[in-house]
Amino acid sequence: MRVAEFEQAIDTKGARIMEMRLHHNHVRQAIGRKDDTLIIWDDQGQARSTFMPQEMDDEIAMEQMHQYLFERAPQYDLDF
């Protein structure tokens, strides 16, 4: 999917984008945050999430995200 489509779909979920990984102008992975939830979307818009304390800075969250267990979260799946 294209970047603009991902941005719109993520915005409708009430999350904010922290990082997008691209491959030839298409989103390969998007990482975002909604309140105390860290969310990773794959290129198909399927979501996985984990708890992340709100007081944790985004930069620190990105550095430490590999330490957390992400579970499938269909409530955050993107609707294209």
pLDDT in tens, 11-22: 999 999 999 999
pLDDT score for 56: 83
Domains annotated for the chain, with CATH where assigned, are: 3-76 (3.30.310)
Rounded Cα distance between 6 and 1, Å, is 7
Q: Three-state SS for 29? A: strand
Confidence grade of residue 7 (pLDDT, cut at 50, 70, 90): very high
Indicate if the pLDDT at residue 58 is higher than 90.
Answer: no
Indicate if the pLDDT at residue 1 is higher than 80.
Answer: no
Give, in order, the Cα–Cα distances in Å from 12 to each of 15, 67, 78. 8, 28, 9
Confidence grade of residue 65 (pLDDT, cut at 50, 70, 90): confident
Indicate if the pLDDT at residue 73 is higher than 90.
Answer: yes
Q: Three-state SS for 73? A: coil
Which whole number is the average pLDDT over 49-56? 88
